[in-house]
Each structure stands twice: as structure tokens, then as C-alpha cells.
């Protein structure tokens, strides 16, 4: 039987955790890279997961340079947005299994919740509104609202500050290891729910617990107050 986390708040990642969007992001980034004459492998894209947009762009610029391509980041970012709009508007986003049940449960036991995502605040709001859940979160923090992206703790500390709880009383739900590292650096509990891989395939993680789905989170939470 798993031990329960005594907590006062839950902080959600968004892409790959709430919404099944990582495949779309991979398609977006790889298509944009091809547009500029270089390739981004699946493994290289995996290294971008959970990182802020600025850090991801700089990493892609390095990959381009290794392939003898000089990348103008401002123009590349605009191309990226073009493909994001194209791919994300082509079909409705699907939520991960157990998401709505977890929201209902947290509201029933009166635990506040926030979203801390590497995407921009405006994009996060648009996504959450499309799912009909924007108003159900007490705080939304986008990657453009902090100076350092994941794996730095800034975004989680900002979410915790807006929720008005202590960091040691926060549980962070993440699909990426960069997000887990940021949560632990902020002094919070971190549960990783991998996207696209199983928990048995993870050789190393700083997460306090690794689960298969959001459905399993219901059994590990206990209100602290």
C-alpha cells in the first residue's frame, strides 16, 4: 500500500500531463527545423521536454550549428508559432486519463490547485479554456512569467506564492524529469507520470513517486489541514 502525501496544494504541469500534446509539439518543432534545413531527432526533442521556451530555442540553435546551419532565433520562433497554430487547431486536444476525476476529488477535499507550465500564460489560458477548466484553477503560471524555466524552481515558487501555501506542503505533478528537478529544487513533493514511456523505462528520476496515470494520484493524497 502506498504512503499518502499530506499536502495543502497541488501544482500541475500542463503539456503531457493534463493534455496529450507532446506528440503535437514534437511534430511542430521537427517541422520548423526542417523548414530551416536541419533535423531534430526524437531523442533531441526529448531533451527539450519540460524546459522553458527560451532554453529550448537555445538548445535547438546549438543543434542547428552542429549541422552547419546558422539559426536566427527570432525568425525561427515566429515559424514555430505558425506551425503550433496550424497543428493545434487541426483537431481538439485530448486530456490524460483521470484528469477530470482528479479535479473533482481535489475540489471535494478542498485542496487548491495551480498550473505551472513552460508554455506562455496566454497559450495555457487558451488550452485550459478549451477544456472548460480554466476557472477551476486558483493560479496559472506560464513560462513567460518567470526569469528561469524548468529545471529551475522559479515557476513552482511563483505558483506556490500565488496559492499562499508553504513549499513543503505542495505536491507537483509532472511528466518530465526537468519538471521534477524544478519541483524538488523548490522543496516540494514531486510525482512523475511519464508521457510516452512507462515507469519501468525510467532509469533515474528524482521524483518521490512514479505513477502510470493521474487516476492513481487520488489514492496518494491526504489534506494536511
Q: What pLDDT score was predicted for residue 1?
A: 58
* Whether residue 120 is found in the same domain as residue 40: no
Q: Residue 93 half-sphere exposure, CB side, CA atoms within 13 Å?
A: 27
Confidence of residue 97 (pLDDT cuts 50, 70, 90): very high
* Whether residue 131 is found in the same domain as residue 57: no
* Whether residue 113 is found in the same domain as residue 73: no
Average pLDDT, the chain: 90
Q: What pLDDT score was predicted for residue 222?
A: 94
Confidence of residue 128 (pLDDT cuts 50, 70, 90): very high
* Whether residue 174 is found in the same domain as residue 208: yes
Q: What pLDDT score was predicted for residue 54?
A: 83
**Structural domain containing residue 175:** 5-20+93-223
* Whether residue 113 is found in the same domain as residue 210: yes
Amino acid at each position: 500500500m502506498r504512503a499518502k502525501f499530506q499536502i495543502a496544494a497541488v501544482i500541475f504541469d500542463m503539456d503531457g500531463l493534463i493534455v496529450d500534446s507532446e506528440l503535437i509539439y514534437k511534430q511542430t518543432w521537427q517541422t520548423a527545423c526542417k523548414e530551416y534545413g536541419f533535423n531534430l531527432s526524437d531523442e533531441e526533442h526529448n531533451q527539450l521536454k519540460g524546459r522553458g521556451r527560451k532554453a529550448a530555442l537555445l538548445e535547438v540553435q546549438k543543434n542547428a550549428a552542429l549541422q552547419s546551419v546558422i539559426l536566427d532565433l527570432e525568425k525561427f520562433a515566429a515559424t514555430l508559432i505558425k506551425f503550433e497554430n496550424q497543428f493545434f487547431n487541426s483537431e481538439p486536444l485530448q486530456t490524460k486519463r483521470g484528469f477530470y476525476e482528479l479535479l473533482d476529488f481535489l475540489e471535494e477535499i478542498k485542496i487548491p490547485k495551480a498550473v505551472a507550465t513552460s508554455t506562455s500564460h496566454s497559450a495555457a489560458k487558451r488550452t485550459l479554456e478549451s477544456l472548460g477548466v480554466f476557472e477551476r484553477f486558483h493560479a496559472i503560471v506560464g513560462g513567460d512569467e518567470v526569469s528561469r524555466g524548468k529545471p529551475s524552481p522559479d515557476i513552482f515558487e511563483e505558483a506556490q506564492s500565488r496559492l499562499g501555501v508553504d513549499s513543503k506542503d505542495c505536491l507537483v505533478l509532472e511528466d518530465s524529469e526537468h519538471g521534477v528537478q524544478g519541483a524538488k529544487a523548490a522543496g516540494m513533493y514531486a510525482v512523475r507520470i511519464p508521457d510516452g514511456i512507462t515507469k519501468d523505462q525510467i532509469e533515474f528520476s528524482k521524483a518521490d513517486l512514479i505513477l502510470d496515470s493521474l487516476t492513481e494520484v487520488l489514492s496518494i493524497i491526504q489534506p494536511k489541514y
